Amino acid sequence: MLINKEVHLNSDSKIPVSTYFGSMTFDQKAMRAKLPKEEFTALQDTIKAGKKITGEIAGVVAHGMKEWAMEKGATHYTHWFQPMTGSTAEKHDAFLSIDRDGTPIERFSGEQLIQGEPDASSFPSGGMRTTFEARGYTAWDPSSPAFLMKGGKDLTLCIPTVFISYHGEALDAKTPLLRSMEAVSKSAIRLLEILGVTGVSRVKTFAGCEQEYFLIDKKFYSERPDLVMCGRTLLGALPPKGQQLEDHYFGSIPDRVLEFMQDVEHELYLLGIPAKTRHNEVAPHQFEIAPIFEEANIAVDHNLLVMEVMRKIADKKGFALLLAEKPFAGINGSGKHNNWSIGTDTGINLLDPGDTPEKNVHFLVFLVAVLNGVYKRADVLRMSIASMGNDHRLGANEAPPAVVTVFLGELLERVLDAIESGKVDLKTEKQVLNLGLSQVPVVNKDYTDRNRTSPFAFTGNKFEFRAVGSSQAASVPNMVLNTLMAEAVDEIADAILAKIKAGKERDVAILETLREQITATKPIRYQGDNYAEALQQAARERGLPNLKNTPQSLRVLLKKDVQDMFIKYGVLSADETNSRLHIRLERYIKGIDIEARTLQLMLKTFVIPDVSEYQGELGNSFNNLLSAADAIGLSGQALSSQAGNLKLLAESFSTLIEMTAELDEAVEKIESFATEFEKADYCADELLPLMSKVRVVADSLEQIVDRSRWQLPTYSEMLFQH
C-alpha cells in the first residue's frame, strides 16, 4: 500500500502549515488532480448551483475519491452525518468487495457515494418514522468536502451527508440548516435589488465558532461517575481558591496543555480546518480554540470535527475533555460564541459599515433587519440554544442571561437614535459623513466598545451570539438565525416597496423604513450589564421573553406562527418541527433522569459509606476520650466541644440520608406523569432543585470529612493539579 507522506506528518515537523493545510480533504486541489476535467467542472457547477449530482458524475467522482483515499492509506469509508442527537454519526464500510470470480477488489461506486442506507431505526426520528419503515438515507452534501479521519490505526474516508427519511423528511440537523441558507439568500438578494445592488447570485451566511472547554486529568475524570456519565459534576465543594484572582485568563498556557493544543491544531490543519487562536479562559483548566470563520454549514461541520478531534487527542494525552456548559458549579461555564454575518458572493459583508455612502445604506438596512428578526423571534433564538446543560449557564448569574437582547455599542446607538429622531447632526465630526441618502449619517467602524455580558453583541462587522452552549452543535442556532433573518429581510423589503409604490422616491422610502424599524425594534436594544437585576426588570417592562429553562423554551416550537415561519421559508415542515420538539424534550427528561440516578449512585456508594466510616471513627475516638476523661481530668467544656463536633457531623449525615431517600422517591416519580411536558417541567421545577439541595448537604460534609476517606477527587484536585 502506498502511503502518502502527509500521513506521517506529525505536529513535530517544522513544515509551514500552508504546505499541508487540507491535505486530508478531497478539496479542489485533490479533485482537480483526480477527476477528468469535464467531470471536475461539472461537479463544481453542481456544487455552486446547489443542485443534485447525476449518477454519471457520481460514478467518476466516487472512483477519483476512492483512488485518492486509498493512496493515503484509507481502507474504509463512511457517510458522516448529524442525527438529531446533537452530535455526529458514522457507519464504516470497507472498500473491499469480492468479484464474481472470487477475486478481492476495492470498489466504491457512485451510488455508494451519493446515497447510503444506515439502519436508521436507532436514531431519533421524533415519531416521523415508525420502526417498520425505519429507512433513513444519507445523501452526499457535496458543498462540504470529504475528508480522511484518523482513528485507531487507520484512516477512514468520511463523506459529509444529509440524513433524510424515505419520504424526504429531514432526520438530521444539517438539512434544515442548508434550507435556511437557501431561504435567507433568496430574501436578501431581493432586498439588495431594491437597494440597487445587482449582480449578486448568492447571499451567504458565515459563522465562526469560538469553542470553550475544560481539560482535566483523566485519572480524576475516571474516578468521578458524574463526569463519566453526565459530563458535569453533581457534587463537589468549591475550593478556597476559585477564579477570584482572575489569574488564569490569557495567562501562560501550561506546557502539557500547549502540546495538546498543538496536536489538535495539527490534525485540524490536515482536515482543512483553519484553527486560528488558542488561549486560557477565565476558569482554571478552561481554554478556548477559535477558527477563522467560514460559510455557516462548513463552520458547523468543522466545529463538530473540532470537538471530536479534541476529545480524541485529549484522551491520548491523558486528559479528559469537558465540553459541558457547566462542569463545575460555582466556576465559570463554557460557551460557544457563534460569530455570525451575512455577505454576498461578490464579496460584500453586509454587516460591515463600509467606507462609501452606498455601503452604509446596505449596512444600516441589514443591521436593522437583524434587530427586527431578533426582536420578533427572540423566543425562537432562545429555544435554539436551550439544553439541559445550558440551563445551568444561562441566567445563572454569569455569561449570557436567558433574556435575549442586542448590544450595538455607543456609536451605533447614537446613529440609530439620530436617524430615528430625524436629527443627523451628530456632534462628533468624524462619525458623521454624508450618506448620499441625504440625511443618514455614515457609520465609522468602531470596534472598541464591547459589552461582554450581552448574549447578542455587534462586534464590528458581525454579530456574536454568545448564548450558544459549548457542547451543542451549532446547526440549530445558525438555522434559526438564518430563518429569522430571511423573514425580517422580507418584511423590510416589502415595507420599502410599498412606499415606492405609493409614489415615494427610493431614498425616502428606505430612510422612512429605517426610521420605522428603529422605533419598532427599540425594546430589543440593551446596552447595560446583562448580569444585573436591572435586565430582568427591563425584560418585564419591555415584554421581552424570559424563558428560564429548556421545557419553557421548547414550548416555543408549539406556537403556530413559529411553525408557520419555518414552513414559509421551507426550512422545517410542521412534522419536522414537531419531531424536533419531541426529541429535545425526551433528551432533556432522559438526561436529567440519568443525572439524578448518577447522583443516587454517588451518594450511596461513595458519600454515605465515606461519611459513615469517618463518623464511626469519630464516635470511637469520642468514646475512648469519654472513658479516659476522668483519669486525664478533661473539663466538661472540652468534652462537649468534641461532642459538638461529632454531633454536627451526625446531624448533617442524618439529613443526607433522609434526603437521599427523598431523592429515591423523586426519581421514580418522573414516570408517573402522563405527558412529556409534564415530565420535563417536573424535572426542571422539582427534581433539579432537590438535587441541588442534596448537593449542598453532601458538599458541606465533604468539607469536614477526613480527606483520606473521601473517595471522590475534589474540585481542588481537579482544578488545581496539573
Q: Applying CB under 5 A, which residues contact Mg ion?
A: 337
| Grid cell 461582554 in the structure block, residue | 452
Under the criterion CB under 6 A, does residue 455 sit at the interface with ligand ADP? no
Under the criterion CB under 6 A, does residue 293 sit at the interface with ligand ADP? yes
Applying CB under 6 A, which of residues 115, 439, 444, 461 lies at the interface with ligand ADP? 461
- We find the least distance from the C-beta atom of residue 364 to ligand ADP, in angstroms, to be 17
Binding segment toward ligand ADP, per CB under 6 A, in 168-176, 201-209, 327-335, 398-406 = 201-209
292 binds, among Mg ion, ligand ADP, none (CB under 5 to 8 A by kind): ligand ADP
405 binds, among ligand ADP, Mg ion, none (CB under 5 to 8 A by kind): none
Grid cell digits, residue 380: 425562537
- We find the least distance from the C-beta atom of residue 209 to Mg ion, in angstroms, to be 10
Under the criterion CB under 6 A, does residue 210 sit at the interface with ligand ADP? yes
- We find the least distance from the C-beta atom of residue 72 to ligand ADP, in angstroms, to be 28
- We find the least distance from the C-beta atom of residue 292 to ligand ADP, in angstroms, to be 5
In whole angstroms, give the CA distance from residue 455 to residue 654.
43
Inter-residue contact 333 to 469 (CB < 8 Å): no
Backbone phi, then psi, for 94, in 5-degree steps?
-80, 150
Specify the residue, 163 or 340, whose C-beta has the smaller distance to ligand ADP: 340
Applying CB under 6 A, which of residues 206, 269, 606, 614 lies at the interface with ligand ADP? 206
**Total chain residues near ligand ADP (CB under 6 A):** 15
Under the criterion CB under 6 A, does residue 292 sit at the interface with ligand ADP? yes
Inter-residue contact 155 to 69 (CB < 8 Å): yes
Site for ligand ADP in 489-528 (CB under 6 A): none
Specify the residue, 166 or 250, whose C-beta has the smaller distance to ligand ADP: 250
462 binds, among Mg ion, ligand ADP, none (CB under 5 to 8 A by kind): ligand ADP
Would you give the DSSP letter of residue 7? G
Specify the residue, 206 or 319, whose C-beta has the smaller distance to ligand ADP: 206
**508's torsion region: left (phi>0), alpha (psi -120 to 50) or beta?**
alpha
In whole angstroms, give the CA distance from residue 28 to residue 22.
10
Under the criterion CB under 6 A, does residue 363 sit at the interface with ligand ADP? no
Under the criterion CB under 6 A, does residue 462 sit at the interface with ligand ADP? yes
129 binds, among Mg ion, ligand ADP, none (CB under 5 to 8 A by kind): none
Binding segment toward ligand ADP, per CB under 6 A, in 211-219, 288-296, 475-483, 602-610 = 288-296
In whole angstroms, give the CA distance from residue 398 to residue 401.
7
In whole angstroms, give the CA distance from residue 576 to residue 573.
5
Under the criterion CB under 6 A, does residue 458 sit at the interface with ligand ADP? no
Specify the residue, 88 or 459, whose C-beta has the smaller distance to ligand ADP: 459
143 burial level (CB within 10 Å; 0-12, 13-18, 19+): middle
Under the criterion CB under 6 A, does residue 290 sit at the interface with ligand ADP? yes
In whole angstroms, give the CA distance from residue 499 to residue 494.
9
Specify the residue, 277 or 356, whose C-beta has the smaller distance to Mg ion: 277
With b for 16 or more beta-carbon neighbours within 10 A and e for fewer, the 447-462 pattern comes to eeeebebbbbbbbbbb
Backbone phi, then psi, for 2, in 5-degree steps?
-85, 120
Closest-approach residue to ligand ADP (CB): 208
Closest-approach residue to Mg ion (CB): 337
In whole angstroms, give the CA distance from residue 183 to residue 348.
19
How would you write 69-131 as a 3-class SS string?
Answer: HHHCCEEEEEEEECECCCCCEEEEEECEEECCCCCEEECCCHHHHHEECCCHHHCCCCCCCCH
Inter-residue contact 73 to 4 (CB < 8 Å): yes
User: How many other β-carbons are positioned within 10 Å of the β-carbon of residue 511?
Assistant: 23
Specify the residue, 349 or 483, whose C-beta has the smaller distance to ligand ADP: 349
Inter-residue contact 177 to 295 (CB < 8 Å): no
Site for ligand ADP in 336-355 (CB under 6 A): 339-341, 349
Query: Which residues contact ligand ADP (rule: CB under 6 A)?
Result: 206-208, 210, 277, 290-293, 339-341, 349, 461-462
